[in-house]
Amino acid sequence: MKYFLIEADRRISNIPKILSWYEKFDIRNICLKNAHKLPARELLFLESNKETIFTDVLSIPFFLVSARIKQVIQMYDSSIILKELVLLDKTNERAERYFIPIFDELECLHEDSEFNMDRSKIKKIVLSRKAIGESSIFRIADYEKPYVIGNLDIVESILRRNCVGLQLTELEIKD
């Protein structure tokens, strides 16, 4: 089975810019152990911009998905916790619903993975087939940056829905 890193497309510059999110969210709570500390639904305001493109995946300030991708995630794993966010641009009277998925976190990096000097970022992801097991979508454990990984089945389902602003990188897997 092939696996892919799922990220927001960095070439799109007019993504929603969330204001004052840190007052309502501690990103350390975006994990299974602390998910109960996050509100089920929250309203966050955006920097006003008529040119904002509401992509289906946002990586900043944390990993968010649109309702379209939420449906795909739930088709493959109904146990994933999803916290709803409404992003509002008051000036331009635009709002969109997004979701924070709380994925299983797997220690799944093969020894051939490459890191920066202090190991806070992964330069080259190499997955361990044994550690992944049958997981269809998950997050790499122990990193603040959300390294979200999906298998070929879930990625193809997402692509069939004509999602916008998605960047996929095929990853190497070793035994």
Among candidates 120, 89, 80, which has minimal Cα distance to 19?
A: 89
Residue 149 and residue 67 in contact, taking contact as beta carbons nearer than 8 Å: no
For residues 61-70, average pLDDT? 95
For residues 147-163, average pLDDT? 96
Residue 61 is predicted with a pLDDT of 87
Q: Cα dist. 95→22, 74, 136, 149, 161 in Å?
A: 20, 23, 30, 28, 21
CA atoms within 13 A on the CB side of 155: 20
Give the span between the Cα atoms of 24 and 42, in whole angstroms: 8
Is the pLDDT at 27 greater than 90, yes or no? no
Secondary structure of the chain: what % helix, strand, coil (to 5)? 20, 35, 45
Residue 145 is predicted with a pLDDT of 87
What is the sign of the dihedral through the CA atoms of 23, 28, 31 and 35?
negative
Give the span between the Cα atoms of 175 and 168, in whole angstroms: 22
What's the number of domains the chain is made of?
Answer: 1
Domain, as residue range, for 114: 3-174
Tens of pLDDT, residues 112-135? 999 999 988 999 999 999 999 999
Is the pLDDT at 154 greater than 90, yes or no? yes
Question: Tokens standing for 27?
Answer: 């990103």
Q: Is the pTM of this model over 0.75?
A: yes
* 39 Cβ neighbours under 8 A, 6+ residues apart: 24, 83
